[in-house]
Structure 1
Amino acid sequence: MNTRNPADNGSGYFLYHSIGMYPGKAEAMGAAFSEFASSWGAFDDGQWMRALGGRQKFIDLWSAVIGAPCGTLTSAENVTTALYSLIGALPQRHLSGRKILVAADCFPSLHFLLAGLAPRLGFTVQTVPVRPGEYWVRDEDMVAAWTEEVGLALLTFVTSTASHRCDLDRLVDHGRRMGSLVGVDITQGVGLLPFKVDKPDVDFTVSTTLKWLSGTPGAGILHVAAPLLKECRPELRGWFSQENIFSWDLDAFAYASDARRFDHGTPSVLACVGSVPALEWHATQDHAEMLAHNRRLGAALIEGTSDTGLTLASPPDERQRGGSVMLQLPADADAAAVVNGLREAGLYTDCRGRILRLSPGPVTTPEGVERLLGRLSTLISR
């Protein structure tokens, strides 16, 4: 069987948990960046108006993706800065002497941030562990650890190492009964799995335009529900945090009335502009069919690797799984050699430790899955 793919047409692309692709991505991004360069280099005075208009288009498109009401969402460099802006803005009653609850399989960067902020802001980070021999934190373990001492819980919609999809309805309902703020990192699910900020109601949302939305790095977002937003006083603030960004009175700083209060210095416009084509492409797609396509290819991956010696490290039930299929390599397998061997055949994947991550998306094809299964079987048998 010929496992090489000289055309490199994306049929063997399995990296939607990392970057994400859509047809014509390079050309669409190139046109957006070219238009920005022409605008920014023009001998006129309209650069800022055009640049900020591009950023606003990014914000509007993102608001539509997750159903965020007008004025509750702004851009951020990444999920870590978005969470930092939110934590640094909260009234002390949510943090001081209380706990922030997080699962051990959250995105590690967010745990690093919370652990560093805890001593200064007076909260304790309570990390719910993965049970021995398992691959994700169980929802029931989150509920058991979630007491009235928890001032804030940060949920992971879909995990990056097991593709476990948490039961948001159940967890948010429990959080409301405990009187906690509830935030959710939707990075690994948004763009593929349905998510709206009011189904169920969450207090804040952080994400990025990478992964299933296929945008650029540096194009993160922060959504804060209106009731909480009114209470927030971000410590990371600057001239863009004001209602009138051109107010220069040093003694009259006042936060903007909406999510702009979470802005600070000059915003990163270029990442937003580069992600607009991806968001526009996504908005025109049949989202139900995108998910169905992913489910068909995911099922083929699981079935095709059942006899290879690889262990499924994701939930077998697709209702509890994101868009990725994670496989644990045998103890004697060389993870780097497996990834390199797949790449040589035009099959793009990655590993976290011995966890091989496979995420089929719009450009991935059944033929690509077939080639991956054949090549993977050969590499493992070696």
Structure 2
Amino acid sequence: MSRDAERFRSHFPALSTMTYLASCSQGALSDALSDALTEFQHSLLELGDPWQQWLERVGEARRRFAALIGAHIDEIAIVSSASEGAYQVASGLVWTPGDSVVTSDVEFPSIAHVWLAQRQRHASVRYADTVGGFATVEGYDRAIDDSARLVSVPLVSYRHGQRLPLNEITTLARRRGAQVFIDAYQGAGIEPTNVGRLDCDYLVSGASKFLLGIPGVAFLYVRHGTRRDLDPQLTGWFGRVDPFSFNARELDYSRTARRYELGTPPVLAVYGAVAGMTLLSTVDQQALAVHITRLTGRLHRELTDLGEQIGSPASDESRGPQVAVRDDDPMRLASYLTARRIVTSPRGTFVRLAIHYYNNDADIDAVVRALAGYRSRHRR
């Protein structure tokens, strides 16, 4: 483990007594996050009604996320969840019979559910075929035709950690005149997410996973100049040109991405998001990528050698920050690991083992050893 990675790990006190492999669900608690939550509590105690201070922190969150993805601050809306962000995108389009949105089975269900709900508004939903559980360019090529208005693709799949071929998929969408929506929740903070290079119209991510915050806040990027058919119907005072005009007779929309915002922002979660992004900004991103790729590669190889059925890609290019172990009873396996102070994230038929910059080789040793012990007691 490099000195920089060791320094980063030192910000997570619980890691001295546990192996934490659940960043794909919730990032580990850092000292920076603890301090931020205490600071929020203090602001109430000391100031009583500290809205000016809170709104400054909301602005800082917007600025930091914009910098993280290479966007302009006016292209960022603060929402409560990735699902809300997806809804704001879908509801801004007029769907006529014959229009379609393209998704896939590697999409997080909550995002796909938003697209499915648009069938009430005449949209059809087309699914890109998968091969062996993985999304392919060919599958998207078959699904994206001239009817496609929107193509939705995750940066990294929640299910098994596949890193999707975004540039190729985006090229297909552009060729057929469709907009592109990227769900970056499973990679923002540790995967390349420059929206200029991704060439997407929309990108959404929450803060509670690899961004090291807490649930309750997400960020929606809307590229400047992106076509919309309708103004948001789900709206609130923070979507106004001036939220503090307090005019109950006028509905004006911000000329920036703030038009997609609703009511009072989730201030506590914003404090957490700023803490996480600030901590991540101290890290060399190239060193982070090399570190995570090395550890996930080692974990994939050693579990394969043990005879485990791995649902994640073997190649470094296609594998994100997660290795998924297939099991007949993922909850039982996860409980076994939890009892040994190894925190994982079971989903569907997999137990997901997620790697962040704070993980080290001792974490890999611990989970490989524990899985070997589990298999000696519980045969498949």
Normalising to structure 2: TM-score of the pair?
0.90
Give the structure 2 partner of residue 15 of structure 1.
22
Is structure 2 residue 176 aligned with structure 1 residue 178?
Answer: yes
Specify whether residues 38 and 335 from structure 1 end up closer, same or farther in structure 2 by C-alpha distance, changes over 3 A only: closer
Whole-angstrom CA distance in 1 between matches of 2:232 and 2:97: 16
- Give the counterpart letter for 2:374 in structure 1: L
1: CA distance, partners of 2:213 / 2:74? 22
Amino acid at match of 2:106: D
Structure 2 residue 338 is the aligned partner of structure 1 residue 343: yes
> Where does structure 1 differ by over 4 angstroms across 4 or more consecutive aligned residues?
229-232
Q: Are the counterparts in 2 of residues 12 and 365 from structure 1 also a CA contact under 8 Å?
A: no
Which of the pair has the greater relative contact order for Cα pairs under 8 Å at 6+ separation? 1
Aligned residues: 364
1:49 pairs, out of 38, 49, 52, with 52
Change (3 A) 1:275 1:354: same
Tell me the CA shift for residue 37 of structure 1.
Answer: 2.4
Residue identity matched to 1:48: W
Q: How does 1:149-160 map to 2 (within 5 A)?
A: 149-160=147-158
Matches of 1:96 and 1:252, distance apart in 2 = 33
Q: How does 1:351-366 map to 2 (within 5 A)?
A: 351-366=346-361
How far, CA to CA, are the matches of 1:16 and 1:69 in structure 2? 27
Q: 2:205, 2:218 within 8 Å by CA — same for their partners in 1?
A: yes
Residue 231 of structure 1, CA deviation = 5.8
2:4 aligned residue: none
Work out which of the residue numbers 65, 70, 84 in structure 1 matches 2:87: 84
State the AA in 1 paired with 2:156.
Answer: V
Q: What secondary structure does 1:205 align onto?
A: strand
SS at match of 1:82: helix
Question: Distance in 1 between the 2:228 and 2:297 partners?
Answer: 45
1:124-154 deviations in Å (ceiling 9; x for gaps): 11122434xx122222101111101101111
What root-mean-square deviation, in Å, do the aligned CA atoms of Structure 1 and Structure 2 show? Answer: 1.9
Give the TM-score normalised by structure 1: 0.90
Give me the whole-angstrom Cα distance separating, in 1, the residues matched to 2:360 and 2:18: 5
Q: Which residue of 2 is the match for residue 40 of structure 1?
A: 44
Which SS does the other structure have where 1:358 is aligned?
strand
The sequence identity of aligned pairs, in percent, is 25
Pair 1:39–1:307, CA change in 2 (3 A): closer
Spell out the pairing of 1:156-167 with structure 2 (5 A cutoff).
Answer: 156-167=154-165
More divergent stretch after superposition (279-288 vs 31-40)? 31-40
Contact conserved, 2:136 with 2:165, CA < 8 A, in 1? no
Q: 1:11 & 1:297 partners in 2: Cα distance? A: 17
Residues 2-27 of structure 1 show CA distances to partners (whole Å, capped at 9, x for unaligned) of xxxxx8526621112111226xx1x3
Check the 8 A contact 1:11/1:365 in 2, yes or no.
Answer: no
- 2:250 maps to what in 1? 252
What is the deviation of 1:235?
1.2
Structure 1 unaligned runs (5+)?
1-6
SS in structure 1 of the partner of residue 233 of structure 2? coil
Indicate if the aligned counterparts of 1:11 and 1:367 stay in contact, CA closer than 8 A.
no
Cα distance in 2 between the residues matched to 1:325 and 1:304? 11
Q: Which residue of the partner structure matches residue 363 of structure 2?
A: 368
Q: Which moved more, 1:254-263 or 1:344-353?
A: 344-353
8 Å CA contact retained: 2:321, 2:354: yes
Q: Cα gap change, 1:229/1:243 in structure 2, threshold over 3 Å: closer, same or farther?
A: farther
**Cα distance in 1 between the residues matched to 2:18 and 2:128:** 38
SS in 2 for 1:50: helix
SS of residue matched to 1:54: helix
The 5 A counterparts of 1:315-330 are: 315-329=313-327
Give the AA of the match of 2:354: S
Does the CA-based 8 Å contact 2:297-2:314 persist in structure 1?
A: no
